[in-house]
Homo-oligomer: A and B are copies of this chain.
């Protein structure tokens, strides 16, 4: 009765469609991969469309041993049959298999993705296969949904998507160490008469790097199109082997003409709430799985290190509560008088106004003191970038950082210095080449206006929404020091 040859059926269905069916269906075909095969009879088939599997029931008495033996975890199958009401518990419908074709075998002894729990480190070493697991399938579907929510949020509000350059001739932004991009050889590198590398002979005729931010270019577009956003890869050549840093990560950078810092904070908060809400609605099944996963994981931790809230409670909390807005100066007061500061528990003790906040301070403010997302603003000019707008006090700038529980900084933004003279003075003080940024300065020469924007590290958002704890686990193929596999 069963044949390995596929019968050409037009009625191809996704697992998701079958599970969401409202009636039984005849003569459907479903293709996917075996997750488990029980009792020579019950195939749990998954095709990536959902975290759930469809149960396919094989008439094993009329199926050859050879075929049955090839139904192993990871094998690709094409199954034709009828969607019928399930006699078993646990599912409403199941597929009564009439035809089964093995599309691709999977040697049970060699297949790395066994139906058991693997360590996250093992899965990172198999990043090309880990997306076949429940957890990583869920994470990557959530990531995709969050991405779309980003675009939809901005497009619905009249923002225009701008692709700022990845290869940049400018290294003035100063957001971090840069990777060199070159077509020159290390051997017999062309040299000038003075013996320096002759970048005029390089592909672009000058030194080029991978971008650390599209902000400066996005500003030029905001001053024409009004409201723009970028969403693209950015790079840091910093040797940070932490669970929160990647050498290559995706960043979202909206930039809005005529917005001041208050409007910028409103935008960031509204944006974050929107994309989380959208994803919670679209990815209910995946998030439910990830919530359970997190609960399981936390069982191995001591009681006092476990989260007080479940994943969904955390997401709901962010959506339903206002972010607390606090000036840097207020934050310093709170920190100076805090227990860990008085008891010298902080690694970096807070003594004077002007200190840069470390991760331990941010976590204290968010997780212990305010117990909610916090927007810190009006930072000392000295610890922030040259393009941020100087306040009337002459010592603080209109900067803001959004801090999230468990994540730390998720957004960094500012109102930009729109006054040509003030900007040039600041660049001079910091030794930033005016000639190199002639085009940036043009925006302040011709029709300048108040404007603001921020950068949101997309992977940190995915971390927060999925409840994962290592940033390497929320991007398909992570790039970190000593690792560019795949």
Name A's B-contacting residues (CB within 8 A): 12, 14, 16, 31-34, 47-49, 74-76, 78, 103-107, 110-113, 126-129, 131-132, 137, 140-141, 143-144, 147-148, 151-152, 155, 158, 160-170, 177, 179-184, 186-187, 189, 197, 203-206, 208, 210, 217, 220-221, 223-227, 232-233, 235, 237, 239, 247-248, 250, 257-258, 418, 439-440, 442-450, 475-477, 479, 481-486
**How far is it, in angstroms, between the C-alpha of A220 and the C-alpha of B442 when the chains are bound?**
46
Query: Which B residues touch A152, using CB under 8 A?
Result: 148
Q: Identify the interface centre among A131, A152, A239, A446: most chain B CB within 10 Å of its CB.
A: A446
- 9 closest cross-chain pairs (CB), A and B: A104-B448, A48-B225, A204-B484, A48-B226, A169-B484, A144-B160, A128-B220, A76-B447, A128-B439
Beyond A179-B181, A233-B233, 18 additional pairs, beta carbon < 8 A: A49-B226, A76-B448, A103-B447, A106-B446, A128-B443, A132-B223, A132-B224, A144-B160, A147-B151, A148-B161, A165-B248, A180-B181, A181-B210, A203-B481, A204-B484, A217-B477, A217-B486, A221-B476
Query: Which B residues touch A237, using CB under 8 A?
Result: 183, 203
11 contacts between A and B (CB under 8 A): A33-B224, A76-B223, A106-B447, A129-B224, A137-B225, A165-B248, A165-B484, A167-B248, A203-B237, A203-B482, A204-B482
**How far is it, in angstroms, between the C-alpha of A187 and the C-alpha of B177 when the chains are bound?**
18
Q: Does A162 contact B103, Cβ atoms closer than 8 Å?
A: no
Q: Does B180 contact A103, Cβ atoms closer than 8 Å?
A: no
Q: Does B129 contact A169, Cβ atoms closer than 8 Å?
A: no
Q: Does A137 contact B16, Cβ atoms closer than 8 Å?
A: no
Query: Which B residues touch A217, using CB under 8 A?
Result: 128, 476-477, 486
Q: How far is the CB of A258 from chain B (nearest CB, A)?
A: 5
Q: How far is the CB of A11 from chain B (nearest CB, A)?
A: 14
Q: How far is the CB of A441 from chain B (nearest CB, A)?
A: 10
Residue on B nearest A182 in the bound complex, by CB: B180
**How far is it, in angstroms, between the C-alpha of A163 and the C-alpha of B144 when the chains are bound?**
9
Q: Does B31 contact A258, Cβ atoms closer than 8 Å?
A: yes
A31-B258, A203-B481, A220-B131 known; A449-B103 Cβ under 8 A = yes
Q: Does A476 contact B141, Cβ atoms closer than 8 Å?
A: no
Q: Does B226 contact A170, Cβ atoms closer than 8 Å?
A: no
Q: How far is the CB of A235 from chain B (nearest CB, A)?
A: 8
Q: Does B140 contact A221, Cβ atoms closer than 8 Å?
A: yes
Residue on B nearest A14 in the bound complex, by CB: B158
A103-B448, A165-B486, A484-B206 known; A183-B180 Cβ under 8 A = yes
Q: How far is the CB of A192 from chain B (nearest CB, A)?
A: 12
**How far is it, in angstroms, between the C-alpha of A225 and the C-alpha of B449 when the chains are bound?**
46
